[in-house]
Structure formats: structure tokens, C-alpha cells
Structure 1
Amino acid sequence: MGQRPESSEYLNELSKYISLVPTEGDICTIFREQTDEICSFISNLTEEQGEHRYAHDKWSIKQMVGHLADTGRIMSYRLLRVARGDTTPLAGFEEKDYVLNANFDAHTLEKLLAHYKLVRESTQALLDTLPEEAWTRMGTVNNGAISARAVACLMIGHDLHHLNILKERYLI
């Protein structure tokens, strides 16, 4: 599915992530290539780098990788629900609470990266098997309407946002 969502298919506040998704290329292919890029980038970091924070009140790189895995799992569930036509409203989630209670820093960066990769591979399997009509189905998440293709683009844009933060603020 190559077509990007219309702005009416998601809350305006999500445009900061969805606008990061390349306009050219198939969403499934972009997702797959992004998984490879992020996994390759993070696999080149050391355990010491994984513990780095660019400020005392910011997440460590390990916590960020854990956050990406958690968010990916939540977004994949949202994608499944919307794509399958489930119109039951879904609540938002508090990302800071997830990171606070996960104890990501107790795990190796390698283990956290493996977890992230598994979540992405599972989501990729879902994306690759969605029928064409599922991409434009609408659901409700966090009190706003959203399409399945917007959820997929949100996942891509969210991870790209965090990859950019890693490159710009953590590894300078």
C-alpha cells in the first residue's frame, strides 16, 4: 500500500510524525527498510553508549530502544484493530509511565534490540497481509479518528523521530 493518508484520517497533532514518512515508496517497504536501518544503527552501539543520556532527566539509549519496542507493540495492536474494522474506541497511553516501570536499563542493549526487532517483524507480517480495503478503514484512538494507513505511517514517523533524536542529541 503506497498511498499516504489524507490529513482527515488522523488527528492534526500526529502530523509531526506522519510528515516524516517519505512520500515515495510503498509503506510496507519503507517499514521494512526502516527496521533494518534502525537495527543496524543500534547494533553498532556499545553497552556503555546504551546507558548514555544527553541530560540527567532524559532517557538512556536503552530506555529509548525499550520505548520504541513498547510503542511498536501498542501501535501494532491499534493497527490490527482498525484494519479489521473494530470500531471500539482505544485509549491513549502514557509513555513515561511505561519507561519508568520497565527497568530497561537492567537489560543489555543487545536484548532490547532483539525485542524491538521481534515487534517490528511481527508488525511487518501484519502489514504484508492486509487486504487493500483495510488500509483506509477508520477507527478511534485517543478520542480521534484514524485510518489503518495513518497508524502505519505514525509507526514509521515515530521511530524516525526517535532515530533523529539519537543521532542529533545522543551521539554528538
Structure 2
Amino acid sequence: MIKIGRPNLNDAPSWYKYFFDLAQGDDLIEALEKNKQDTLDLIASIPFNLEDHSYAEGKWNIKQVFIHLCDEERYYAYKAFCLSRQTNVLLEIPMSENYTKNFNVSGRSLKDIAWEFITVRNATISLLSTMNLEMLDFKFPDENPYTARSLGWFAVGHNEHHSRLVRERYL
């Protein structure tokens, strides 16, 4: 297995830099593993009575935040998979009103959502850890600025961003 270093800033939209800066380390697989454990530790620290807590009206509750992380990671991993196979599938970040409302958290516990996160993250790690450099860094010359490497690092930073928000605004 190769070490997957930091992304090239030219391999993603300029606004990804914020998320790349949040991602710690210099090896993607190690960063994904550490971030997974940090996220699970955060989830375990949340009291049961706060699972449905939202810090303001109209904002997601804690369970919705972690479902969002699972959903987005699935999206980034699929996009990374397509790029690694040199398949130009134009996938825009889904931001419709229904997408951000249909989390289906009723009746679900944070423990259940943590299990889902583990499953999704392990699949991401499995996918990215089997790619060679050509697969990790393939980029279409046109409108698609991403690489599988940049999407993997973005997943770590995106997760860290929302974990920080949970710590600062929800707890």
C-alpha cells in the first residue's frame, strides 16, 4: 500500500483549501483512520438527551449532522471511484431542499448512526487504499477539477469541520 500524500490545491475548487487545512497529517489513510476514531469518540461523548438537540431553530440536530457526514462521504467516495476509473460522471453536490430534509433520523440512535459512519468510512478507506498513483491523481482536462486524492482529503476536512461545529455549537 502506498502513502497517499497531501492533495495538490489545483486538483479541487479553491474553496476546498479550507477543508484541506482542517485535515491533519501527511498520509490520507492514516488521516481517515484517525478522523474516524476522533468522530467515534465525539459521538460517544454526546449524552442521550442531546441526540436530537439543535443549536438554533431551522438548524440540523446532532443526529442529522452525522447522517450528513455519512451521506456526503458516500458521494465523495463514489466520485473518487469514477475518477479513478477515468469515468467522467458529472456529479454535483446535491443541495436540494429534499436532500437536506430527508435524513430519516426518527427512531434512530447515535449508536446506530455511528455504526453507519464506521461502515461508510471503512468503505472509503478500502476504496482509496487500493488505488495506485495514476488512479489517485487522474483528472479530466475540462470542467472536472477533482482527483480521487483531493476528494479523500476533502472527506477528512469536511468531517473535521462538522465535528468542530458539534463541539462548539451543540455541546
* TM-score, normalised via structure 2 length: 0.90
Q: What is the match of residue 136 of structure 1?
A: 137
Shift of 1:106: 3.2
Counterpart of 1:152?
Answer: 152
Give the 4+ runs in structure 1 shifted more than 3 A.
none
Equivalent AA in structure 1 for residue 56 of structure 2? A
The Cα offsets for residues 2-23 of structure 1, whole Å up to 9 and x where unpaired, read as 422222111112222122122x
Matched, 1:84 2:85: yes
Retained in 2: the 8 A contact 1:67–1:95? no
- How far 1:139 sits from its partner (Å)? 4.5
Alpha-carbon separation, structure 2, partners of 1:13 and 1:105: 33
Is 1:35–1:117's contact at 8 Å kept on the other side of the alignment? yes
SS at match of 2:94: coil
- Cα separation, 2, equivalents of 1:150 and 1:37: 21
8 Å CA contact 2:6, 2:27 repeated in 1: no
Q: CA deviation at 1:126?
A: 0.8
Structure 2's unaligned 5+ residue stretches are: none
Q: TM-score, normalised by structure 1?
A: 0.89
The 5 A counterparts of 1:1-150 are 1-22=3-24, 24-94=25-95, 97-139=98-140, 144-150=144-150
Structure holding more strand per residue: 1
CA distance in structure 2 between the aligned counterparts of 1:77 and 1:91, rounded to whole angstroms: 12
Instruction: Report the RMSD for the aligned CA atoms in angstroms.
Output: 2.0
Shift of 1:87: 2.2
* Runs of at least 5 residues in structure 1 that lack an aligned partner in the other structure: none
In the alignment of these two chains, the number of paired residues is 169
Code of the aligned partner of 1:170: Y
Deviations 1:14-72 (A, max 9, x none): 222122122x4311111011101101210222221111111112110000011111111
Output the amino acid matched with 2:12.
Y
Distance apart, 1:89 and its partner CA: 2.3
Tell me: CA distance 1:69–1:96, structure 2 relative to 1, closer, same or farther (3 Å).
Answer: farther
Deviation string, structure 1 residues 117-165 (Cα, Å, up to 9, x no partner): 110111111122111221111159xx54111111011101100000110
